Amino acid sequence: VRGERTFPLTALIADDALGAVTASGRSARALAGELRARGVSVVEASSAADAESVILSEPGLQAVLLDWSLAGGDGTHAAVRGLLARIRSRNARLPVFLMAERDDAPMLSVEVMSQADELVWTLEDTADFVAGRVLAAMRRYRERVLPPFTAALLEFARTYEYSWHTPGHTGGTAFLKSPAGRAFFEHFGERLLRSDLSVSVDGLGSLLDHAGPIGESERYAARVFGAQRSYSVTGGTSAANRIVLTACLAPGEVALCDRNCHTSVQQGLALSGAVPVWLRPTRNHLGLIGPVPPQRLGAEALREARAAHPLAAGAERASHAVLTNSTYDGLCCDAVRAAALLGAACDRVHFDEAWFAHARFHPLYRGRHAMHGEPGASPPGGPTLFATTSTHKLLAALSQASFIHVRDGRRAIEHQRFNEAFRMHATTSPQYAVIASNEVAAAMMEGPGGAVLTGEAIAEAVAFRKAVARLRAELAARGEWFFDTWGPEEVADPATGGRVPFAQAPEALLVSDPACWTLRPGDAWHGFAGLEGDWCLLDPIKVSVVCPGVGRDGGHEPLGIPAMLLTAWLEARAIVPEKTADYTVLFLFSIGVTKGKWGTLVNALLDFKEAFDRDAPLADELPALVAAHPGAYEGLGLRGLAERMHAQVSESRRLALQEAAFAELPRPVLSPREAHSRLVRGEVEAVPAGRLAGRVLAVGLVPYPPGIPLLAPGESAGSADGAHLAYLAALRDWDRRFPGFSHEVHGQWEEGGDAMTYCVTGVAG
Ligand SMILES: Cc1ncc(COP(=O)(O)O)c(C=O)c1O
């Protein structure tokens, strides 16, 4: 049986007679004994509640045997019906055997029989015969449970080949020849190393040609993700974006690009030689970034943007459009409408859904992602659609696992042509475990599993949000501060027709009704101006914890805790958030989340508050920071440092400058490709931050947060008192005053006490 060692045979028998000295008890025990004799590990449950716990906690089960009279039968057999429904809501294929007696036959309805696979007449069939049938069903299930490439890989790993091909560690044996190698081998384990193979292994196919089991795996992923074609990418969505952009854009062509784009989009522009016309996204008072509003995607707005662009004005039409959906902060647009709007302006629309691979699998996100509905659902005559998704970010896959999904429409690029771009960014030695994990992530989401797993993540995020809201309300009643989560404060309850506070809203409503998470125009909580009705939805699993400090109007509140301080404190306690902005910290509730994990976070937030309120000494709270920078922090407390930090943000007007900097697109002087060519030719100078005025950037400058290009390659840095440079200066001032809390600005490096950037020589900005 495939993967027997990695996927041990396990079955559950749920029967409350298991321990009884009765005929049914004896036959259940005999059956368990026969299964064990065949190498099956049997889990016994003698109550419905116990059986349910096993079903929920043990996805490795390969058969379930349920006694029809479990929990006494009670005439309605509600316990067994409930268990059957529970199993089928999570797994459509798991073999389920109903153990019954002939007299029970009239009670077995069509519904019950369609949820169970086989009936076992316990007092008539022999235990040997039934065990044989169970084992055969388990084997069939195991054959089908693994997706194609993973099945082939596990099968291959069992052949114990002598490897005469790359990689040079040859199934791990090379590591055994040195102490460091041995430690590496022990840590990662032999199985991973024996699965690290090369294209020389014919039977596993080829990623570059999409042949064999790898090709099958991509076709399988296309079915699961609703694409016409899918490409498994082992260089992350960074590579996926570069592939799509280099496949779609030729030098000089115009691309409509969300300014809130990942650096890989900028790299794709430089590689293809295209000219970006930037689409400005929305931002709110906390600096959270939302989608580009629909008004900026209309044909007229796009035509005007193109006409006003010094390098794009001559182009008749844009060739490609790329939107980030959802944003890092979890805001996603109405993708159906966005595709229609952009599709009027160009023939190919690309959604960078690095943060949204789970969207297809839960009704909350209906219509909010590129591959919505079935492949035929995209309107005829519409644009060709691309989605690039980081399977590894929010689904269960190894880092670097990503997919490109395609639905052909206007100016479709046939596979062979597209594949030339794919090969340009792919390696000839891909990591097979990454490909397998990409496919396993798809397998986990196939069928009912996708909605269950995504629903559980949403439910945990909702529970965490509610817990924080309750604590906040309780503390507010005592006149005390607490953190908040960024999200709706109240929602419409269709049951009552009224609006209920978030903390009291029924969980069933919050996890299922998209209206709860839609940003309604005019609602104060979200702070986004100029929204249209249904345009934008907050993905509940991206939870921004809001620190005190910024009012709804963007003004400074007297009490403020810059988020970097909270993050440093949490990290010192081994709690590592995804992203830290000015006054928000982002936590991802991906499908691996557990109650224990978020419970610990709630406790940590309460502990922080306690330490903050008593101004606990930094020497106790952040000892490594004080040891590294005694001059800056010795003798200070947590609260004292927060006050200093908050005052600096206020005095430097950093938030206002950030808003102004991102509200104004810099003037493009050279195309990204031309700027990059100057860099390659060395026609650049390293310029200190204080002397950037009037210069043209050869590289992009991307401060984290918010992680979107402040200045893109080829753009003018503007004047010294312009918003872009003033904002950079405010960041720099903070970095100098608070060592250990520096901002990352991609595109800059430290030299001689200054932040340096490459600017193009001899071109005025
Ligand atoms: C919007 C967006 N696109 C693409 C990427 C790149 O994804 P990956 O890390 O899978 O290369 C990221 C990474 O953060 C991202 O935020």
Nearest to residue 247, comparing CAs of 235, 236, 255, 258? 255
SS (H, E, C) 623-647: HHHHHHCHHHHCCCEHHHHHHHHHH
- Please report the atom of ligand 1 found closest to the CA of residue 328: 16
Q: Whose CA is nearest to atom 7 of ligand 1?
A: 237
Distance 114 CA to ligand 1 centre (A): 43
Q: What pLDDT, on the 0 to 100 scale, is given for residue 339? A: 96
Pocket probe for ligand 1: among 232, 233, 234, 238, the residue whose CB has the most ligand atoms within 8 Å is 238
DSSP assignment string, 78-117: HHHHHHHHHHHHH-SSS-EEEEE-GGGGGG--HHHHHH-S
Burial 684-721, CB ≥16 within 10 A → b, else e: beebebeebbebbbbbbbbbebbbbbbbbbbbbbbeee
Which pLDDT value is given to residue 4? 52
pLDDT of residue 157: 77
Beta bridge partners of 501: 490
Nearest CA to ligand 1 atom 9: 236
Q: Which residues of the chain have pLDDT under 50?
A: 1-3
- The residue to mutate among 233, 244, 264, having the most atoms of ligand 1 within 8 angstroms of its beta carbon, is 264
Query: Could you tell which of 390, 393, 403, 404 is best to mutate to test the pocket of ligand 1, judged by most ligand atoms within 8 Å of the CB?
Result: 390
Q: Which of 261, 262, 388 to mutate to test the pocket of ligand 1 (most atoms within 8 A of CB)?
A: 262
How many whole angstroms from 395 Cα to the centroid of ligand 1?
14
List of residues 6+ apart from 34 with CB closer than 8 A: 127, 128, 130, 131
Q: How far is the CA of 642 from the centre of ligand 1 (A)?
A: 31
- Other beta carbons within 10 angstroms of residue 406's beta carbon come to 27
Q: Tell me the best of 237, 263, 578 to mutate to test the pocket of ligand 1, counting ligand atoms within 8 Å of each CB and taking the most.
A: 237
Helix-strand-coil split of the chain, %, nearest 5: 45, 20, 40
Q: What angle do CA 292, 298, 304 make, to 5 degrees?
A: 95
DSSP 3-state assignment of 468?
helix
Cα-to-centroid distance, 333 and ligand 1 (Å):
18
Per-residue model confidence (pLDDT) at position 73? 66
Shortest-distance atom of ligand 1 to CA 239: 11
pLDDT score, position 5: 54
Q: Cα–Cα distance between 275 and 408 in angstroms, integer?
A: 24
Alpha-carbon distance of 255 to 349, in angstroms, equals 10
Q: 352: closest CA among 280, 404, 398? A: 404
Ligand 1 centroid, distance to 629 Cα (angstroms): 33
Nearest to 212 by CA among 282, 281, 155: 155
Residue owning the nearest CA to atom 16 of ligand 1: 262
Alpha carbon of 353 to ligand 1 centroid (Å): 8
Q: How many angstroms is it from 622 CA to the middle of ligand 1?
A: 31
What lines the ligand 1 site, CB under 6 Å? 236-238, 241, 262, 264, 324, 328, 352, 354, 390, 402
State phi, psi for 50 to the nearest 5 degrees: -65, -45
Residue 3, both tokens? 């993967």
Ligand 1 centre distance from Cα of residue 432 (Å): 21
Ligand 1 center from residue 234 Cα (angstroms): 13
Instruction: Of 648, 465, 633, 631, give the one whose Cα is nearest residue 562.
Output: 648
Which ligand 1 atom is the nearest neighbour of the CA of 401? Answer: 10
- pLDDT score of 470: 95
Q: What's the pLDDT at 1? A: 41
pLDDT of residue 547: 98
**Strand, coil or helix: what is 167?**
coil
Strand partners, 755: 750
| Ligand 1 atom at shortest distance from the alpha carbon of 238 | 11
Structure tokens at 328: 């890092």
What 8-state DSSP symbol labels residue 360? G
What's the pTM? Answer: 0.93
Q: Is the peptide bond before 326 cis (omega within 30 degrees of 0)?
A: yes
| 343-354: b (≥16 Cβ within 10 Å) or e | bebbbbbbbbbb
How far is ligand 1, taken at its centre, from the CA of residue 398, in Å? 14
* 439 phi, psi to nearest 5 deg: -75, -35
How many angstroms separate the alpha carbon of residue 306 from the centre of ligand 1?
Answer: 27
